[in-house]
Amino acid sequence: MKRFLLGLVSGLVLASVLRRAKLEGVTQERLDRYYERRAQNYNLTDYLYLGQFPRVEMRKRVVALSGMKAGDTVLDFACGAGANFPYIMEQIGATGKLIATDYSEHMLEAARKVVEEHGWENVELVQGDAAQMQFDTQFDVVMCTLGLAVIPGWQEAMQRGWAHLKPGGAFAIGDLSESRRWYTRPFAFLNDLIDAAIIADSSRRPWEWMQQMGSGYRREEIFHGYFYAAVVRKPLKVAVEP
Ligand SMILES: C[S@@+](CC[C@H](N)C(=O)[O-])C[C@H]1O[C@@H](n2cnc3c(N)ncnc32)[C@H](O)[C@@H]1O
């Protein structure tokens, strides 16, 4: 009994230390160092989960939910090494335009290789903090995958992205999340462990903000709730006060 209690208390203390470390660990400096190391092989992570490839599924669902089509102008913020580009370009084609932005020069360098390999001429890569992004363009789709759990100023990034969306345009995201399914509860500490290792915070809930912003909100869980894809549309008309 004594041993059991000791084990339980140590487990709880360890879990809370881990959670705190993860919540305080997502800093721009650490992220930049991490993605400098990961840049060259980052996109291979999509194929880590043999058989199911949930990250690939998430990318495809984000693109599908956004409803992007030929000729659209798309913003992919925190684009990383360009893992979303093939799915986006397949939809918008040569008449569309993709602007992709990331904080890490190293990730953008890897993304540039993807663009060159495919010979796309309508993709523009821009370095910068998503929390401060400013473009002259208004977009049909603003999207982000695996970025909002990482970007330190993630709420500002969403607001900046939303401000750059055309009326009727789609704001579409996909990311990690803490699974709330009954059978994943006993493994909740795994979320914290993985987050701490990859410098992310999957306890953020950007979809709660999206739900209040526009119409057509939809959220789908992927891979037992550890990933999701969500979309909301910007209203066509701003209501005029009487
Ligand atoms: C987990 S990766 C996701 C990359 C890509 N969106 C994907 O789905 O593969 C997170 C990306 O966010 C970028 N990032 C971190 N902080 C950022 C910031 N403040 N503004 C823009 N991008 C940022 C990192 O450099 C990294 O490329």
Domain edges within the chain: 2-233
Q: What is the pLDDT of residues 153-183, one digit of tens each?
A: 999 999 999 999 999 999 999 999 999 899 9
> In the block, which residue shows the tokens 């709330």?
180
26 lines ligand 1 (CB under 6 A): no
pLDDT digits (tens, 9 = 90+) for 102-122: 999 999 999 999 999 999 999
Q: Which single residue is written with the structure tokens 């400098």? A: 36
Per-residue model confidence (pLDDT) at position 228:
97
CA distances, 223 to each of 2, 53, 175 (Å): 38, 9, 11
% residues pLDDT > 90 (the chain): 76
Which residue among 29, 56, 103 is best mutated to probe the pocket of ligand 1, counting the most ligand atoms within 8 A of its Cβ?
Answer: 103
CATH topology of domain 2-233: Rossmann fold (3.40.50)
202 lines ligand 1 (CB under 6 A): no
Q: What is the pTM of this model?
A: 0.91
Contact 177, 226 (CB under 8 A): yes
| Cross-strand bridge partners of residue 232 | 171
**pLDDT the model gives residue 66:** 98
| 146 touches ligand 1 (CB under 6 Å) | yes
